[in-house]
């Protein structure tokens, strides 16, 4: 269990450092219009690549959840034992917090760096209303996060099913997360992961931290919904206990 939790902590650390790091450090590198900046497409791809590489690195150790909503969804879908939920969630959240702290140490090394807690998407944070990148309402953000997380669980459970092509699951999951970001960055700055939201919100404080409850509630509900849907759709498979 210690090794499994370590893998979840490191994997979530990599997801937040790679995904949020691309948004903070590289999305607008050189200023608006600079061809070196990776933009929305690059950030979306970065999140997908962190999951893809992390799944290949740690999937055989812990199952490569890297996300409390994924762990809860797999439990709801009959793929993960309930006794392991809390330790996994704690490990994932700690990994995300450490990644956000490391990212802040790196970002603050640039001249003039500062975080405006009143700006939408500050330090890759998630938000609704004035803190949504597109100004989307709380209802729109909630619905988006629920649906996107539900579909993420359907992709994960389908790609890792025993009848699916072996060895390709991380690719499908990584590309699925990329697509989710392409859709929902303008809406919520894309969470679908409570740990990821919490890590950066703790650094920013203010409104992003006060709104982080939604980015626990909506992804958890979405994860459970996706898990139940796939459990109904797909044939049964033995529970994942950390061995892939």
Poorest-pLDDT segment among 51-55, 83-87, 195-199, 236-240: 236-240
Average pLDDT value for residue range 231-238: 71
Nearest to 230 by CA among 143, 166, 149: 149
Q: Is the pLDDT of residue 235 over 80?
A: no
Q: In the chain, pLDDT over 70 holds for what percent of residues?
A: 96
Average pLDDT value for residue range 195-211: 96
Q: What is residue 30's predicted lDDT score, i.e. its pLDDT? A: 76
- Torsion, CA 72, CA 76, CA 80, CA 81, rounded to 10: 90
- The per-residue pLDDT for range 59-96, each reduced to its tens digit, is 999 989 999 999 999 999 999 999 999 999 999 999 99
Compute the mean pLDDT over every residue in the chain, rounded to the nearest whole number.
92
pLDDT confidence band for 236 (50 / 70 / 90)? low
DSSP 28-82: TTTSTT-TT--HHHHHHHHHHHHHHHHHHHHHHHH----SHHHHHHHHHTTSS-G
Q: What is residue 244's predicted lDDT score, i.e. its pLDDT? A: 35
Q: What is residue 243's predicted lDDT score, i.e. its pLDDT? A: 37
Answer yes or no: are the C-beta atoms of 219 and 147 closer than 8 Å.
no
DSSP 80-141: S-GGGHHHHHHHHHHHHHHHHHHHHHHHTTSTT----TTSTTGGG---SGGGSTT---HHHH
Domains plus CATH for the chain? Answer: 2-233 (1.20.1080.10)
Q: What is residue 136's predicted lDDT score, i.e. its pLDDT? A: 97
């Amino acid at each position: 269990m210690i090794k499994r939790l370590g893998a979840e902590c490191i994997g979530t650390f990599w997801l937040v450092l790679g995904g949020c790091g691309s948004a903070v450090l590289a999305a607008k590198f050189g200023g608006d219009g600079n061809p070196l900046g990776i933009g929305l497409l690059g950030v979306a791809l970065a999140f997908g690549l962190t999951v893809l590489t992390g799944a290949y690195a740690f999937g055989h150790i812990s199952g490569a959840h890297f996300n409390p909503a994924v762990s809860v969804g797999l439990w709801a879908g009959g793929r993960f034992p309930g006794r392991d939920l809390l330790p996994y969630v704690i490990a994932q959240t700690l990994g995300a917090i450490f990644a956000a702290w490391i990212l802040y140490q790196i970002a603050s090394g640039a001249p003039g760096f500062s975080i405006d807690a009143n700006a939408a998407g500050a330090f890759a944070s998630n938000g609704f209303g004035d803190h949504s990148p597109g100004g989307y309402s709380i209802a729109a953000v909630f619905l988006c996060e629920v649906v996107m997380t539900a579909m993420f669980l359907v992709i994960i459970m389908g790609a890792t099913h025993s009848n699916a092509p072996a060895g390709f699951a991380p690719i499908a999951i990584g590309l699925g997360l990329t697509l989710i970001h392409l859709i929902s960055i303008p809406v919520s700055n894309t969470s679908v992961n409570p740990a990821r939201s919490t890590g950066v919100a703790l650094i920013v404080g203010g409104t992003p931290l006060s709104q982080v409850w939604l980015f626990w509630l909506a992804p958890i509900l979405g994860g459970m919904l996706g898990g139940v849907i796939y459990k109904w759709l797909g044939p049964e498979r033995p529970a994942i206990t950390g061995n892939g």
